[in-house]
């Protein structure tokens, strides 16, 4: 039952080269998430999006890199900072934005909101609002894969805040005990809401949190999409070989506050500026594209325009889609037996 | 057209704020994500980022201006192919107006009825109110109970324990997706021997011992149910499920709704509920009203072995999350159970266990037996009591209760749990709503005493409803 823990000290860098097409794809996907989130922030400011709205800006390389390592059949589940994950699984931007505005055209027909969207078709299982709760759920999705003999993996995302929830370790234990194909992707954006990792975690190395269960862990530069993809591929291979769970700690950074109403006074402007200027995941790929003569500035601009048009279209749909019919209040509570 | 930069709201409740500082000046080139201004409210200071790229054409509101309304134009950004002349048309019409939101957004609002306007208006709108009453949510609790239970000719004597085991085994034989999971369910054969023999027949892939980890395995089983597996999750007792109640309610019960109907959760949470005997406060609690409170769950509480078998089979077949409340003291009691592979009982239908004319006694789980004993004693005293076995708590079979009360005009509810916000409180309310004019006496509730369960034998007996309490309550509502 015991697995040999494989741990790597320090930060894993990209150790494989991606093809030109791949780089362009990652650039476009990351840009779509960023532009989408900026637009969501704007619509929130206009009062068109209500409640809580947790933006993914800065963390784009994590989910895009992991999805590049996964197959379409693999499952994805995450917490409430979830818009990026939906777009990365191929969910329609208009359907996601319309859910943010609480409209009929949204993925949950307006009944879920920013934190609660799902797409069975894209194997995206939410969208969960209780910190850490998605971890046993994702472990259960992996359990179903093993139960049915399917060679699929469940990407279970959690933040650095969630690693202090007890149910995370309950899930780690069962996943290791039963060798379930689940990858715990710890998105360490360094702040659990307003409390920094140094102030909430007795050890800074979150990838070691599975050590007691024999779950191998790696720390990865989560601002580098190629490093994420490479680590993701190792983790996926481990799971597909039936060796059980794997932990990736993806060191990343969120540019915005925890939610729209968080002014993020717990960190310095210099810290944020340094991340944006020196470690931006999109700029990094942009540089690879330009330096590698894969695309010129004009070519990048075309991609920018396409992405912008897609987001504008999504925003328009999200504003024009009607509110759900009042009869929706009483639907989807129970399935007719 | 130049791009309008609007005064943003930091929260749904913010209506105005101070434009504290401009970080850009007219003529500056900005890109998406650049911080262009800082705004302040009484709660916080926030940065405003450009969402579009271009040149700052005009700063409409001066830095330091207070009470700037949300959605007011604070600046214009010129797009790539525009020059300052593009501002000629807009600057005259959109001079700063401290008390008015920009016209353009207002129009959009009235045309589209966007979320901001409607979030507060919709719930009180006339159309909403009409729809709400038309949709009649409580219809869900008034189940069709006119349908007679199928009659069976052949019976066998079984304990509740055996009936539960047979129900699981039969459903596992017909559906590969059904599996049993919990503490000591496999090798130990069940902490209360309810799962005896299942491991031998179905193997360790489908009969799974878990670590003692309620919160975790409840989430895990719920996740597997999202994928279409049908877990029968045993809690050694429901007292331990309190560790897992977040997953039961927030994940299992609400996901169908939150996903707009995409993700169902066909799971059964089962195990003994309520007081056993002399196990103290933390192991002796009734959770019926806790779970019955929540939409998205069905809550079932069998009394007899026939109830246990027929209802557990129905629960496993049901596509919804079901809380199935058993009782440890009942496990060893024997009843007649229909000897028929197709025997199944409908969820949502109560059963009249004993007909009567003077007073209705509604009970569930172990209290049904006490109610029947009380009815015997009442009969000796010339009072004819009708005893209803609820079988399902949610959806509540309001029809059966109300029809009985219309006949007897008197009602006593019996439950082991505490009275405050208990099942009896709900039944009393429902009867008041549907049969107020038929009541000849206030509804009486017999419940557990409002104390944590004591250990001492004499105190425990005092804390739990007894036959004598039911007799006394029935006599009281009959003014005898």
Interface probe for A, chosen from B136, B247, B253, B258 (most Cβ of A below 10 Å), is B258
Residues of chain A neighbouring B261 (CB-CB closer than 8 A)? 109, 331-332
B85 and B202 assigned to the same domain: no
Cβ–Cβ contacts within 10 Å for residue A122, how many? 18
User: What distance in Å separates residue B45's CA from the closest CA in chain A?
Assistant: 6
- Tell if the CB–CB gap between A137 and B251 is shorter than 8 Å: yes
Query: Pick from B33, B128, B216: which is nearest to A171 by CB?
Result: B216
Minimal CA–CA distance to A163: which of A109, A217, A85?
A217
Helix, strand, or coil here: B324? strand
pLDDT at B35: 87
Minimal CA–CA distance to A219: which of A195, A255, A164, A209?
A209
Q: Which domain holds residue B293?
A: 155-338
Residue A127 host element (H or E): strand A124-127
Residues of chain A neighbouring B33 (CB-CB closer than 8 A)? 34, 38, 57, 255, 276
Residues of chain B neighbouring A323 (CB-CB closer than 8 A)? 113, 115, 118, 122
- Return d(Cα B424, Cα B302) in angstroms, integer: 17
pTM: 0.89
Name the token pair of B324: 């199935």
Is there a contact between B5 and B70 (Cβ–Cβ < 8 Å)? Answer: no
With cut-offs at 50, 70 and 90, classify the pLDDT of residue B91: low
Query: Pick from A57, A111, A329: which is nearest to B258 by CB?
Result: A111
Minimal CA–CA distance to B311: which of B287, B276, B335?
B335
Strands, DSSP E only, in chain A?
Answer: 7-12, 75-78, 124-127, 154-159, 182-188, 191-192, 195-196, 217-221, 246-251
In a domain, B225, yes or no: yes
Minimal CA–CA distance to A134: which of B215, B233, B219, B269?
B219
- Return d(Cα A109, Cα A119) in angstroms, integer: 12
Please name the residue of chain B whose CA is at the shortest distance from the CA of residue A40: B51
Number of domains in chain B: 3
B283 is catalytic: yes
B295 cis-preceded (ω within 30 degrees of 0): no
User: What distance in Å separates residue A144's CA from the closest CA in chain B?
Assistant: 5
pLDDT in tens, B366-385: 999 999 999 999 999 999 99
Minimal CA–CA distance to B36: which of B66, B11, B60, B67?
B60
Sheet with B411-418: list strands edge to edge: B351-354, B385-389, B359-363, B411-418, B444-448
- Return d(Cα B280, Cα A196) in angstroms, integer: 42
- Tell if the CB–CB gap between A112 and B251 is shorter than 8 Å: no
In a domain, B88, yes or no: yes
- Return d(Cα A83, Cα A254) in angstroms, integer: 14
Residues of chain A neighbouring B9 (CB-CB closer than 8 A)? 44-47
Query: Pick from A41, A120, A144: which is nearest to B229 by CB?
Result: A144
Query: Pick from B71, B256, B295: which is nearest to A46 by CB?
Result: B71
Which range among A235-249, B5-19, B60-74, B81-95 shows the weakest confidence by mean pLDDT? B81-95
- Return d(Cα A179, Cα A5) in angstroms, integer: 14
- Residue B473's CATH number: 3.40.50.920
Chain center to CA of B420: 18
pLDDT at B106: 37
pLDDT at B9: 84
With cut-offs at 50, 70 and 90, classify the pLDDT of residue B148: low
Cβ–Cβ contacts within 10 Å for residue A157, how many? 26
B29: β partners:
B55
Backbone phi and psi for residue B189, each to the nearest 5 degrees, phi listed first: 70, 25
pLDDT at B45: 79
Note whether B454 contacts A: Cβ–Cβ < 8 A.
no
Helix, strand, or coil here: B353? strand
Q: What is the mean pLDDT of residues A297-305?
A: 95
Query: Pick from B45, B179, B246: which is nearest to A263 by CB?
Result: B45
Q: What is the mean pLDDT of residues B56-78?
A: 92
B260 and B383 assigned to the same domain: no
In a domain, B150, yes or no: no
Torsion of Cα atoms, B367 then B373 then B375 then B378, to 10°: -130
Name the token pair of B97: 């107006």
Q: ipTM value of the model? A: 0.93
B72 and B167 assigned to the same domain: no
Chain center to CA of B117: 29
Interface probe for A, chosen from B49, B114, B252, B348 (most Cβ of A below 10 Å), is B114
What is the Cβ-side half-sphere exposure of residue A279, based on CA atoms within 13 angstroms? 20
| Rounded CA Rg of chain A | 19
pLDDT of residue B265 exceeding 80, the answer is yes
- Percent of chain B scored above 70 by pLDDT? 88
pLDDT of residue A14 exceeding 70, the answer is no
Number of residues assigned to chain A: 337
In a domain, B82, yes or no: yes
- Return d(Cα B50, Cα B91) in angstroms, integer: 20
pLDDT of residue B15 exceeding 90, the answer is no
Across B58-92, b (16+ Cβ under 10 Å) vs e yields: bbbbeeebeebbbbbbbbbbbeeebeeebbeebbe
pLDDT at B128: 37
Interface subset of B 311-340, CB within 8 angstroms of A:
314, 317-320
- Tell if the CB–CB gap between A47 and B247 is shorter than 8 Å: no
Query: Pick from B116, B135, B219: which is nearest to A47 by CB?
Result: B116
Interface probe for A, chosen from B216, B249, B314, B345 (most Cβ of A below 10 Å), is B216
What is the Cβ-side half-sphere exposure of residue B129, based on CA atoms within 13 angstroms? 4
Angle at B414 between CA B412 and CA B420, to 5 degrees: 100
pLDDT at B99: 39
- Return d(Cα B187, Cα B196) in angstroms, integer: 9
Name the token pair of B474: 């029935």
B328 and B378 assigned to the same domain: no
A78: β partners:
A127
CATH classification of A7-321, choosing from 3.40.50.970, 3.40.50.1390, 3.40.50.10480, 3.30.420.10? 3.40.50.970
- Return d(Cα A255, Cα A158) in angstroms, integer: 18
| DSSP structure class, residue A275 | H
- Tell if the CB–CB gap between B222 and A140 is shorter than 8 Å: yes
In a domain, B146, yes or no: no
- Tell if the CB–CB gap between B219 and A330 is shorter than 8 Å: no
- Tell if the CB–CB gap between A47 and B115 is shorter than 8 Å: yes
Number of residues assigned to chain B: 480
Query: Pick from A49, A141, A334: which is nearest to B226 by CB?
Result: A141
B246 and B325 assigned to the same domain: yes
- Percent of chain B scored above 90 by pLDDT? 75
B210 and B70 assigned to the same domain: no
pLDDT of residue B131 exceeding 70, the answer is no
Burial class (CB in 10 A: 0-12, 13-18, 19+), A103: buried
Note whether B106 contacts A: Cβ–Cβ < 8 A.
no
In a domain, B139, yes or no: no
pLDDT at B10: 79
- Residue B56's CATH number: 2.40.50.100
pLDDT of residue B138 exceeding 90, the answer is no
pLDDT at B81: 80
pLDDT of residue A272 exceeding 70, the answer is yes
Is there a contact between B210 and B191 (Cβ–Cβ < 8 Å)? Answer: no
Contact partners, residue A3, CB within 8 Å, separation at least 6 = A176, A214, A215, A216, A243, A244
- Tell if the CB–CB gap between A260 and B250 is shorter than 8 Å: no
B223 and B287 assigned to the same domain: yes
User: What distance in Å separates residue B298's CA from the closest CA in chain A?
Assistant: 9
- Tell if the CB–CB gap between A330 and B135 is shorter than 8 Å: yes
The DSSP bridge pattern shows strands B3-6 and B73-78 to be antiparallel
B396 and B312 assigned to the same domain: no
Please name the residue of chain B whose CA is at the shortest distance from the CA of residue A50: B12
- Residue B332's CATH number: 3.40.50.970
- Return d(Cα B220, Cα A167) in angstroms, integer: 10
B365 and B468 assigned to the same domain: yes
pLDDT of residue A202 exceeding 90, the answer is yes
A127 cis-preceded (ω within 30 degrees of 0): yes
Name the token pair of B3: 């791009």
Distance of CA B215 to CAs A146, A182, B4, Å? Answer: 21, 18, 50
Mean pLDDT over all residues of chain B?
88
Note whether A1 contacts B: Cβ–Cβ < 8 A.
no
pLDDT of residue B269 exceeding 80, the answer is yes
User: Taking each helix axis from N to C terminus, what angle separates A60-69 and A225-240, rounded to the nearest 10 degrees?
Assistant: 40
Residues of chain A neighbouring B213 (CB-CB closer than 8 A)? 170, 173-174
Is there a contact between A185 and A174 (Cβ–Cβ < 8 Å)? Answer: no
- Taking the CA atoms of A40, A43, A48 and A54 in sequence, report the sign of the dihedral they define: positive
B312 and B364 assigned to the same domain: no
Every domain of chain A and the residues it spans: 7-321
Residues of chain B neighbouring A260 (CB-CB closer than 8 A)? 10-11
Minimal CA–CA distance to A280: which of A88, A58, A38?
A58
Name the token pair of A303: 């991609």
Residues of chain A neighbouring B264 (CB-CB closer than 8 A)? 335
Residues of chain B neighbouring A330 (CB-CB closer than 8 A)? 135, 137
- Tell if the CB–CB gap between B135 and A77 is shorter than 8 Å: no
User: What distance in Å separates residue A303's CA from the closest CA in chain B?
Assistant: 15
Query: Pick from B105, B115, B225: which is nearest to A102 by CB?
Result: B115
Q: What is the 3-state secondary structure (H, E, C) of A281-303?
A: HHHHHHHHHHHCCCCCHHHHHHH
In a domain, B213, yes or no: yes
pLDDT at B136: 46
Cβ–Cβ contacts within 10 Å for residue B328, how many? 22
| Rounded CA Rg of chain B | 31
pLDDT in tens, A133-154: 999 999 999 999 999 999 999 9
**For chain A, how far is it from start to end, CA to CA, in angstroms?**
41
Name the token pair of A214: 């024999």
Backbone phi and psi for residue B207, each to the nearest 5 degrees, phi listed first: -130, 105
In a domain, B182, yes or no: yes
Mean pLDDT over all residues of chain A?
94
B289 and B232 assigned to the same domain: yes
Is there a contact between B368 and B389 (Cβ–Cβ < 8 Å)? Answer: yes
Q: Find the catalytic residue in B4, B170, B171, B214.
A: B214
With cut-offs at 50, 70 and 90, classify the pLDDT of residue B151: confident
B321 and B383 assigned to the same domain: no
- Return d(Cα B452, Cα A251) in angstroms, integer: 48
Q: Find the catalytic residue in B4, B183, B283, B469.
A: B283
Residue ending a domain, choose from B311, B338, B365: B338
Which range among A21-30, A93-102, B59-68, B75-84 shows the weakest confidence by mean pLDDT? B75-84
């Amino acid at each position: 039952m015991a697995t040999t823990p494989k741990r790597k000290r320090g930060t894993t860098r990209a150790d494989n080269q991606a093809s030109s097409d791949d780089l362009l794809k990652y650039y476009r996907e990351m840009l779509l998430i960023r532009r989408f989130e900026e637009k969501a922030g704007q619509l929130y400011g206009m009062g068109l999006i209500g409640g809580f709205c947790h933006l993914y800006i800065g963390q784009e390389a994590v989910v895009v890199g992991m999805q590049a390592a996964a197959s379409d059949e693999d499952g994805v589940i995450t917490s409430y900072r979830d818009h990026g994950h939906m777009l990365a699984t191929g969910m329609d931007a208009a359907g996601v934005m319309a859910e943010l505005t609480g409209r009929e055209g949204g993925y949950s027909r307006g009944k879920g909101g920013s934190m609660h969207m799902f797409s069975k078709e894209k194997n995206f299982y939410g969208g969960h609002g209780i910190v850490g709760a998605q971890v046993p759920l994702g472990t259960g999705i992996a359990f179903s894969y093993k139960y049915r003999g399917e060679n699929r993996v469940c990407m279970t995302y959690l933040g650095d805040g969630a690693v202090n929830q007890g149910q995370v370790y309950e899930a780690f234990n069962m996943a290791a005990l039963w060798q379930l194909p689940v990858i715990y992707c710890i998105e360490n954006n360094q702040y659990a809401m307003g409390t920094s990792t140094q102030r909430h975690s007795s050890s800074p190395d979150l990838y070691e949190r599975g050590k007691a269960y024999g779950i191998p862990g790696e720390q990865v530069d989560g601002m580098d999409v190629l490093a994420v993809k490479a680590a993701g591929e190792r983790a996926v291979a481990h799971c597909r070989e039936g060796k059980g769970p794997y932990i990736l700690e993806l060191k990343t950074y969120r540019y915005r506050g925890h939610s729209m109403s968080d002014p993020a006074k717990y960190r310095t402007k210099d810290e944020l500026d340094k991340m944006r200027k020196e470690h931006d995941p999109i700029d990094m790929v942009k540089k690879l594209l330009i330096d590698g003569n894969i695309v010129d500035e004009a070519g990048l601009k075309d991609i920018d325009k396409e992405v912008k048009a897609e987001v504008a279209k999504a925003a328009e749909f999200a504003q024009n889609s009607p509110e759900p019919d009042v009869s929706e209040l009483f639907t989807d509570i129970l399935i007719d037996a | 057209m130049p791009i309008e930069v609007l005064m943003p709201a930091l929260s749904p409740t913010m209506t105005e704020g101070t434009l504290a500082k401009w970080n850009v000046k007219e003529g500056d080139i900005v890109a998406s994500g650049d911080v262009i201004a800082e705004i302040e409210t009484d709660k916080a200071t926030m940065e405003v980022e450009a969402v579009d790229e271009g040149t700052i054409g005009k700063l409409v509101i001066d830095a330091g201006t207070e009470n700037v309304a949300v959605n007011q134009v604070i600046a214009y950004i010129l797009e790539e192919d525009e020059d300052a002349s593009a501002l000629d048309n807009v600057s005259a019409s959109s001079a700063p107006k401290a008390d008015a939101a920009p016209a353009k957004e207002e129009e959009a609002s009235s045309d589209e009825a966007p979320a901001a306007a409607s979030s507060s208006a919709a719930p009180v709108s006339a159309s909403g109110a009409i729809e709400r009453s038309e949709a009649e949510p409580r219809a869900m609790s008034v189940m069709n109970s006119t349908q007679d239970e199928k009659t069976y000719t052949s019976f066998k004597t079984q304990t509740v324990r055996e009936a539960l085991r047979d129900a699981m085994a039969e459903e596992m034989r017909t559906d590969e997706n059904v599996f049993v999971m919990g503490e000591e369910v496999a090798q130990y054969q069940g902490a209360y021997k309810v799962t005896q023999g299942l491991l031998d027949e179905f193997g360790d892939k489908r009969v799974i011992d878990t670590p003692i980890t309620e919160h975790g395995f409840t989430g895990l089983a719920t996740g597997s149910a999202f994928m279409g597996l049908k877990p029968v999750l045993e809690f050694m007792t429901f007292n331990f499920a309190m560790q897992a109640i977040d997953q039961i309610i927030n994940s299992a019960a609400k996901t169908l709704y939150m996903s707009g109907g995409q993700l169902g959760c066909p799971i059964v949470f089962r195990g003994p509920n309520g007081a056993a005997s002399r196990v103290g406060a933390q192991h002796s609690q009734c959770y019926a009203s806790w779970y019955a409170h929540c939409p998205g769950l069905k809550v079932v509480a069998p009394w007899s072995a026939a109830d246990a078998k027929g209802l557990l089979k129905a629960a496993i077949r049901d596509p919804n999350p079901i809380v199935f409340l058993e009782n440890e003291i009942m496990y060893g009691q024997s009843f007649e159970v229909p000897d028929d592979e197709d025997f199944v009982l409908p969820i949502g239908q109560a059963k009249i266990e004993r007909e009567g004319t003077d007073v209705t006694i509604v009970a569930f789980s172990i209290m049904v037996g006490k109610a029947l004993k009380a009815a015997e004693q009442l009969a000796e005293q010339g009072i004819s009591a009708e005893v209803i076995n609820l079988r399902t708590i949610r959806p509540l079979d309001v029809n059966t209760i109300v029809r009985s009360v219309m006949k007897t005009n008197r009602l006593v509810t019996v439950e082991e749990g505490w009275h405050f916000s208990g099942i009896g409180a709900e039944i009393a309310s429902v009867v008041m709503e549907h049969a107020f004019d038929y009541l000849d006496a206030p509804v009486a509730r017999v419940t557990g005493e409002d104390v944590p369960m004591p250990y001492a034998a004499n105190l425990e007996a005092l804390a739990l409803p007894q036959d004598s309490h039911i007799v006394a309550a029935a006599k009281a509502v009959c003014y005898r």
